[in-house]
Chain A
């Protein structure tokens, strides 16, 4: 449902507000989330999550949602599953190199990010997808780790950050 997906990007600002509310609420259920994660009770949560996010974002349940950093355009819909920005093959009309009839998810993400309260979030580096987490609930993950849990964490500050 690309039409709904595009609607979500156009309403990225509003959805981000909802997201922050949900994230805040999830914080309070953290002890419960910790107990359900990886157990049988995760299933029903994941089913609800799949329904809601599947409708709004064409979510494929990667289990490590990055929507709050990608202008509410799901990077897993990119045929190359790029999580850090558009490739160099985007067509002049802004459509995908691999699927010529589909708008590039990163062209959408860039547009969505402009409407977000934190337009810089799109510049954060996302870790590679953890393939063992596919199918699991991202909501429970966010409850435990917060929305920045998918970002690349550097062990120490770069010593020679000034020199190339």
Chain B
């Protein structure tokens, strides 16, 4: 290892900023207090990296990090570590999802070291769907760890530089740790406490399941605020466009943990263009979620509809204030006293869109 005395070593990893766990963009955006946007990349069934980059390109315009799913729904796709490494190599911020369903503690700990070495800064710790819902229901379910013991394990690796066994790690993985929450399934009154338990186990950000039912989500968040958990983690609410009423019904009965109220499905059914209405519902949900105290961002999951994500996020307006602030900052630094007049600009953008 060469220090500053020996000159510059391009291979030496940068240490995270003071108070930060990672070098990642997601952590920087969240800690700066800006409303964050993450999006899920639908993993390809191929070994062609272009399939990943094509999908990442349309998402990256509007998001701070891209989630690489780990065989979600127990279906085989390109691995989350592979996708995350490809994304990191191209300069995108990846959230590597790790599910406990397919790998034991030996494999997971090694994968996290490998991913961190390849530049992955964010890891989302998940339990994983059961194998029975996927395309290989005859597979052996592993579940050696669960999401919470996984969080504890990774935090120990990072902060105490030790594997679960106690063996020493010479260079720890600088990762920002995340976990999932589903506020919409029983036991409902346990859910906020479970989120707090995950935070206590090391979760620094939370991405929730699809959020279609605002009243239930508001009750959940009220309890989270009562527990004070929102002050110790960044909560990103999950959203996504529904392609049609039929697709919504199918998801509700076939994908574990999806809660879609009947009123949402009725609204889609009553629309002339159901796909467009699904997109509108999503935009409105983002606007409503943004107003809830304790929410730090949204996580957009557009299953096989990535091309919609950019327009949904743009229309919701959540990035507009961020951009205007950035422009004002640049103008200030340049000494431009006039700067962009914020309210005018906001009005202009609005009319442009109408």
Tell me if B288 counts as interface (CB < 8 A to partner A).
Answer: no
- For B325, the chain A residues whose CB sits under 8 A away are none
Q: Which of A85, A86, A89, A92 contacts B130 (CB 8 A)?
A: A89
CB neighbors of A among B135-160 (8 A): 141, 143-149, 152-153, 159-160
Tell me if B267 counts as interface (CB < 8 A to partner A).
Answer: no
A126–B105 CA distance with the chains assembled, in angstroms? 15
- For B234, the chain A residues whose CB sits under 8 A away are 164
A87-122 interface bits toward B, Cβ cutoff 8 Å, 1 = contact, 0 = none:
111111110011000001011001100000000000
- For B194, the chain A residues whose CB sits under 8 A away are 85-86
Shortest beta-carbon distance, A109 to chain B, in Å?
9
Main secondary structure of the interface of B (DSSP, over half): loop
Total residue contacts A-B, CB cutoff 8 A: 116
Q: Is the CB of A84 within 8 A of B187?
A: no
Q: Is the CB of B143 within 8 A of A107?
A: no
B330-351 interface bits toward A, Cβ cutoff 8 Å, 1 = contact, 0 = none:
0000000000000000000000
Of the candidates A81, A104, A158, the one having the most CB atoms from chain B within 10 angstroms of its own CB is A81
Report how many residues on chain B are interfacial, defined by Cβ distance under 8 Å.
Answer: 48
- For B100, the chain A residues whose CB sits under 8 A away are 80
Tell me if B193 counts as interface (CB < 8 A to partner A).
Answer: yes
Q: Which of B101, B196, B256 contacts A88 (CB 8 A)?
A: B256
Q: Is the CB of A98 within 8 A of B130?
A: yes
Q: Is the CB of B186 within 8 A of A83?
A: no
Tell me if B289 counts as interface (CB < 8 A to partner A).
Answer: no
Q: Closest chain B residue to A104 by CB distance? A: B186
- For A86, the chain B residues whose CB sits under 8 A away are 185-187, 190, 194
A11-53 interface bits toward B, Cβ cutoff 8 Å, 1 = contact, 0 = none:
0000000000000000000000000000000000000000000
Q: Closest chain A residue to B150 by CB distance? A: A128
Q: Is the CB of A84 within 8 A of B146?
A: yes
- For B189, the chain A residues whose CB sits under 8 A away are 110
Which of B197-205, B276-284, B301-309 touches A? B197-205
Tell me if A152 counts as interface (CB < 8 A to partner B).
Answer: yes
- For B209, the chain A residues whose CB sits under 8 A away are 88
Q: Which of A92, A110, A126 contacts B190 (CB 8 A)?
A: A110
- For B259, the chain A residues whose CB sits under 8 A away are 92
Of the candidates A98, A111, A160, the one having the most CB atoms from chain B within 10 angstroms of its own CB is A98
Whether A164 contacts B233 in the complex (CB less than 8 A), given A92-B259, A125-B200, A155-B160, comes out as: yes
Question: Could you jot down 24 A-B contacts, CB within 8 Å?
Answer: A79-B130, A82-B146, A84-B148, A84-B197, A87-B127, A87-B257, A88-B127, A88-B181, A88-B182, A88-B209, A88-B257, A90-B186, A94-B187, A97-B133, A104-B186, A106-B187, A110-B187, A110-B189, A123-B193, A123-B196, A123-B197, A162-B232, A163-B232, A164-B204
